[in-house]
Chain A
Amino acid sequence: MDANRLSQGQLVAAVAAIALFIISFLPWFGVSGAVTVGGTTIGGSTNFSLWEAENPLDIYLLIVILVALVPALMALLGDGATAPMAPFATTLLAGVGTLLILYQVFDTPGDADRKIGLFLGLLACAGIAVGGYLSMQEDAGGERY
């Protein structure tokens, strides 16, 4: 495998997709509470990764990751196969994914706390969208790095 076969946009999208996959296992939401029993207060909190939260966002972002990684893998394997719609699909789906994560930042499920994964996931998904957009421009200009 030769990484030079990847365009700059494909590389950005693929790296951001791998980052998003790793980030999906970090805490995205948290719930905390406390009860007082007999004058003693007992508190506790628990965190949820993207996969543990009951939300279709996990399946959607998995689709985004796959759409971003497949063109890079095809270019790396170099079997001559191409996916002409891939840069557009990556840009569109990652752009919508960024909007969906942004929506979760402002409206967390069940008024849960926002955790680090939510913000890193937002950045990574935006990174995939930027990579897809760069790929679209490179395809239009015929530039390969």
Chain B
Amino acid sequence: MTGRLSQGQIIAALGAAVLLVAMFLPWIGVSGPSIPAGIPVPSGVSTSTTENIWKGSTLDIYLLITAVVALLPALLALTDAAEEFSFVSAATFLLGVVAIILVAAFLTVDFPDGADRKYGAFIGLAAAIVVAIGGFRAMQEEVAGEI
């Protein structure tokens, strides 16, 4: 199956798979006031909570579109489809670059006040970088006709 995919397409697909997984990991953490020592806390009660990217903004839909476009060549190879879309590598690169900008902006200027940045957001940023690199490499391979 992977024989039909270029190296860039494989990199982009792996980045997209990680991005999809990262979207379900904690991105935002909110901590409540700490409970003074000595006060018993019932089991199952926590003063902090985390949220993934699916709650709150259009970033979730955008990252989903980016992941699906990056996965498209791998999905077509899986189904043995004969279709080849010449624009997919360029689209993957473009959407990946914009995803990096949006996630970086989310982590800096757009992050909710008083909340903590959780590891899911950083894994998502790294995955978006991998998707963009994969898309760029796939574009280069298409130009060079190495596929």
Contacts and interface: CB of A to CB of B under 8 A. Distances in A.
Interface residues of B, number: 19
A92 B105 CA distance: 21
B102 A56 contact: yes
A3 interface: no
Interface stretch (A7-15, A22-30, A37-45, A99-107): A99-107
B101 A99 contact: no
Interface stretch (A57-65, A73-81, A111-119, A120-128): A57-65
B20 interface: no
A109 B56 contact: yes
Given A54-B112, A63-B98, A109-B57, A96 B105 contact: no
A25 B58 CA distance: 19
Interface residues of A, number: 18
B59 interface: yes
B69 to A, nearest CB: 9
A59 B101 contact: yes
Given A88-B87, A103-B58, A103-B61, A54 B94 contact: no
Interface string B34-56: 00000000000000000000001
Main SS of chain A's interface residues?
helix
A85 B90 contact: yes
A56 B98 contact: no
Given A56-B58, A104-B58, A92 B102 contact: no
Interface of B: 56-59, 61-62, 65, 87, 90-91, 94-95, 98, 101-102, 105-106, 110, 112
